[in-house]
Structure 1
Amino acid sequence: MHLVETMAYVGATPWHGLGNQLAPNQPLEVWAERAGMNWRIEETDVMYRIGSHDLDPIQSFPEQKVLYRSDTKKPLSTVSKRYQVVQPAEILEFYRDLTEVGGYQLETAGVLKEGRKLWALARTGQATSLAGGDEVRGYLLLATACDGTLATTAQFTSVRVVCNNTLQIAVGANRGAVKVPHRSQFDPRAVKDELGIAISSWDGFMVRMHELASRKVSSAESERFFERLFTYSWAKPETVDANKVNERGFKAVMNLFQGAGRGSTLESAAGTAWGLVNSVTEYVDHQQRARSAGNRLDSAWFGAGAFLKQRAWDGALELIA
């Protein structure tokens, strides 16, 4: 089974190649149906049987509750009584005023892990063009999970058009994201107010993109950059040699950087720090080993892949400091 349960999209097929295509400017109700988000997260008590026989008494465990899907009745997770649920409809509804009066355009929405993780992604209308016609567009991603793996997160992100590579926008103290823990009530208006301040992070991100595209790197610098990125010292040091290089990843990104990557020969990326970053984002989004396209999406946006991309961005910024 794909990790992506269901998904809908507008425009070109997304980089992970999954989903149901929609005509532009569809109402949110159509999005909910085609993205597989037209159900609710229900909750009930955790029950346990005293003894091993069917007729033995059943008791409830008041500190916990079970979350399950209203349509299939399948369980999603067990959480504390204090846990605040965010419904699939709330993820889409968040974008209603943004799309109707704010100029945003929904592009993808869907369900991961059989309903345990939900997301929607909208284009903000912000964009910049780097040397050689290298266009980068701004997006707003809203995602939540009901299995403890993710706070409800509104995150500005970017898509490099030539290759559909994604990169989260985090400038300064992670000002590109607003996170609401599930012990708190999700308040869309408060999140948008906070995002109104964070949207200025696009301006800083744009400045740094141009600086990275202007920063030439030598062969020695690029090798050092990728070696540092692909040593195992940051991941599971108790299970692998902390100084060992992940040769497969290192060789893959070097190959992408040296001309095999989409957009790698554009003036903005050829032999530049911006090219270093995009070699890593392309590797994570398109090449890194994964059990399915859905697993790759989950990693690239929320997991180890997103972490690797952030480390690449931070490392590149050190080159222009």
Structure 2
Amino acid sequence: MPANIETMFYVREAPWHGLGNRVEHALSSDEALQAAGLDWTVIQKSIQTEDFAEIPGYKANIRASDQRMLGVVTDRYKIVQNYEAFAFADELLGEGVRFETAGSLQNGKKVWLLAKLPENYIIAGDRISPYMVFSNSHDGSGSIKVAMTPVRIVCQNTLNLALNSAKRMWTTIHTGNIKSKLEEAKKTLLHAELYMDKLGVEIDRLHRIKTPDHKVLEYIEFLLPMPEQATKLQEKNVQQLREDLHARYFEAPDLKQVGKNGYRFINAVSDFATHAKPLRETASYKENLFLRTMEGNPLIDRAYELILATA
């Protein structure tokens, strides 16, 4: 396994590198915790110098199962255990929630879970399913994050647009009263329906924005600019990327019936941003794609802003 992925499970179709434990149906929280290899806890131990003098103000986060050190944190850091993340999702989404994938990265330093909400939405003729993503780190490097990620089912494109009118992500640091913060997050995320309603309004708006072919070419050049004084290799690479995005807009079978409008272009950009392989494939590029699926992909947001600004 590549170093970035430690353990994981997935339902039916393998994500990322095709690694982990394959299961044939979505799992309950208890089942998912074990299948993902996340049924371990984190403990804190004091840090000492070579002559056994304790270093005040800091603790080491240690995985109890194998005593692996996950990171050094301040003594104000509050641990959110893996089982607490799954329990939080259970409480948030209600009894019967099913988890699609979960796992750990970087030898347990970071963990995630993705669960499908029970409702589907039909927006502008498309079936869109909202998912919840929970991401946590045990090394002190990042905050707790919970986000809604709508997915267009026919092609698995994410439509997690940054809307000014509805919040879709909540974060908090590992200090203070974590339980109360998770309760507050639950209240925030219970407004997922509001986000989906606002998303529906925006998709209808994008449908009404016509995109003539010459405008689409301008959009593509704006999103994938040619560097000044570009080398021959840079020119070739940028042109290759532009042709890829061009094909995803003009030739994608699932967009043939959508019409030439802003929604079609957003879907083409989303497909490009989340499914196209980079020119130079690194070991962690798919993990980074997953994080951008949660936090929002800047290319998709730029395309969305561009269409609204030039409508």
TM-score by length of 1: 0.80
Q: How much has 1:91 moved relative to structure 2?
A: 1.4
Q: How much has 1:205 moved relative to structure 2?
A: 0.7
**Structure 2 counterpart of 1:106, one-letter code:** F
Where does the alignment leave 5 or more consecutive residues of structure 1 unmatched? 50-56, 234-239
Tell me the secondary structure at the aligned position of residue 61 of structure 1.
strand
Does residue 91 (structure 1) correspond to residue 85 (structure 2)? The answer is yes
2:151 maps to which of 144, 159, 173? 159
Conserved 8 A contact 2:28-2:97: no
Q: How much has 1:310 moved relative to structure 2?
A: 2.9
1:284 maps to which of 269, 273, 284? 273
Out of 9-18 and 213-222, give the one that drifted further.
9-18
Conserved 8 A contact 1:300-1:306: no
1:313 maps to which of 297, 304, 307? 304
Distance 1:211 1:18 in 2: 40
Distance 2:45 2:249 in 1: 52
Q: CA deviation digits over 1:220-251, x for unaligned, max 9?
A: 32222233323499xxxxxx99xx98714333
1:257 maps to which of 249, 255, 258? 249
Q: How much has 1:198 moved relative to structure 2?
A: 4.8
- The residue number in structure 2 matching 1:70 is 64
Q: CA deviation digits over 1:68-118, x for unaligned, max 9?
A: 3222322222222222221111111112234553x6432222212222221
How many residues matched?
300
Tell me the secondary structure at the aligned position of residue 129 of structure 2.
strand
Tell me the secondary structure at the aligned position of residue 270 of structure 2.
helix
Out of 38-47 and 141-150, give the one that drifted further.
141-150
- The residue number in structure 2 matching 1:176 is 168
- The residue number in structure 2 matching 1:236 is none
Conserved 8 A contact 1:170-1:177: no
- The residue number in structure 1 matching 2:102 is 109
Distance 1:160 1:15 in 2: 19
Tell me the secondary structure at the aligned position of residue 73 of structure 2.
strand
Q: How much has 1:180 moved relative to structure 2?
A: 1.3
Q: CA deviation digits over 1:154-209, x for unaligned, max 9?
A: 11111111221223253216611111122233333221112223541110011212
Q: CA deviation digits over 1:31-79, x for unaligned, max 9?
A: 1110111111222223333xxxxxxx24332222222322232222222
**Within 5 Å, which residues of 2 pair with 1:9-28?**
9-10=10-11, 12-14=13-15, 17-24=18-25, 26-28=27-29
Conserved 8 A contact 2:27-2:98: no
TM-score by length of 2: 0.82
Distance 2:48 2:244 in 1: 50
Distance 2:85 2:110 in 1: 11
Q: How much has 1:280 moved relative to structure 2?
A: 2.3
**Within 5 Å, which residues of 2 pair with 1:1-321?**
1-2=1-2, 3-10=4-11, 12-14=13-15, 17-24=18-25, 26-49=27-50, 57-98=51-92, 100-101=94-95, 104-130=97-123, 134-172=126-164, 175-187=167-179, 188-231=182-225, 247=238, 248-259=240-251, 261=252, 263-265=254-256, 267-268=257-258, 270-289=259-278, 290-292=281-283, 295-302=285-292, 306-319=297-310
Distance 1:81 1:164 in 2: 42
Tell me the secondary structure at the aligned position of residue 125 of structure 1.
coil
Task: Report the identity percentage.
Answer: 24
Q: Given the superposition, is the C-alpha separation of residues 299 and 174 from structure 1 closer, same or farther in structure 2, using an over 3 Å criterion?
A: farther
Conserved 8 A contact 1:15-1:164: no
Tell me the secondary structure at the aligned position of residue 5 of structure 1.
strand
Distance 1:125 1:317 in 2: 31
Distance 1:8 1:146 in 2: 20
Q: Given the superposition, is the C-alpha separation of residues 224 and 196 from structure 1 closer, same or farther in structure 2, using an over 3 Å criterion?
A: same
